């Protein structure tokens, strides 16, 4: 009888061990690799998309300008990684799928996300396709800024004077004059105002296209774009 009990116990223990191994084998992991060389952050946090990072974020260790983070991947949760430098942050969104996500933080504030996992790949495809809607308008805006055609000549003179003024009364007088120019519609050039309005229209069109995608493609990627459009 004792031998039977011993064999039964051994069988149960073996089955439990096999189930444990199967559970380990079935675990899906999302591996996030990040490059911070373009944006040397002193703090990197990760939180579920939509949750307040001040209270619910985890901190990711930084080593030699790079980060590596693993989290359980069920393909149903989106996350936001934020690279902080002082009070400024650069962020990147991704979906936790089984596989790898690569993020490169650039000096211009853009985070390049790359992944071959199905949902991330589709999300990035739609982002790239719809970003072209705003690219041209942004290009015009940057061209005007580069040519110093964004502020009117009176406004630019006041702004340059403000940079070298130390007297508080003089600074107040300059700020008052700048506010007056703004109230009179003479702070920005007509070209810059028109281009800035075009950028706003381009963004509205982009979000409309993404929302249409969400309606036509129900699922996590569509929900992601609805969340982004609701900000």
Q: Are residues 144 and 85 in the same domain?
A: no
Q: Does an H or E element contain 190, and which?
A: helix 190-216
Question: Average pLDDT of 135-148?
Answer: 93
- Domain residues for 139? 134-216
Q: Are residues 151 and 88 in the same domain?
A: no
Q: Are residues 91 and 143 in the same domain?
A: no
Q: Are residues 156 and 97 in the same domain?
A: no
- pLDDT tens-digit series, residues 146-204: 999 999 999 999 999 999 999 999 999 999 999 999 999 999 999 999 999 999 999 99
- pLDDT tens-digit series, residues 8-44: 333 333 444 444 444 445 779 999 999 998 998 999 9
Cα–Cα distance for residue pair 46/58, rounded to 1 Å: 5
- Residues 77 and 96 sit within 8 Å (Cβ to Cβ): yes
Q: Does an H or E element contain 226, and which?
A: helix 220-229
Which of 114, 146, 162 is the last residue in one of the domains? 114
Q: Are residues 109 and 161 in the same domain?
A: no
Q: Are residues 104 and 169 in the same domain?
A: no
């Amino acid at each position: 009888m004792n031998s039977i009990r011993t064999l039964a116990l051994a069988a149960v223990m073996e089955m439990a061990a096999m189930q444990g191994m199967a559970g380990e084998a079935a675990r899906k992991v999302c591996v996030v690799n990040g490059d911070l060389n373009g944006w040397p952050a002193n703090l990197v946090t990760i939180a579920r998309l939509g949750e307040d990072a001040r209270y619910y974020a985890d901190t990711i260790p930084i080593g030699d300008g790079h980060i590596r983070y693993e989290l359980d991947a069920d393909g149903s949760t989106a996350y936001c990684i934020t690279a902080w430098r002082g009070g400024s942050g650069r962020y990147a969104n991704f979906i936790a799928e089984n596989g790898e996500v690569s993020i490169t933080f650039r000096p211009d504030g853009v985070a390049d996300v790359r992944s071959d996992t199905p949902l991330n790949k589709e999300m990035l495809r739609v982002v790239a396709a719809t970003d072209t809607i705003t690219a041209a308008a942004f290009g015009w805006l940057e061209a005007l800024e580069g040519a110093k055609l964004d502020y009117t000549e009176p406004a630019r003179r006041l702004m340059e004077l403000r940079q070298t003024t130390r007297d508080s009364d003089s600074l107040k007088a300059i700020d008052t004059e700048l506010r007056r120019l703004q109230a009179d519609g003479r702070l920005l050039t007509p070209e810059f105002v028109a281009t800035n309005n075009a950028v706003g229209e381009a963004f509205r069109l982009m979000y409309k296209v993404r929302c249409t995608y969400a309606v036509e493609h129900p699922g996590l990627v569509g929900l992601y774009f609805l969340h982004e459009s609701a900000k």
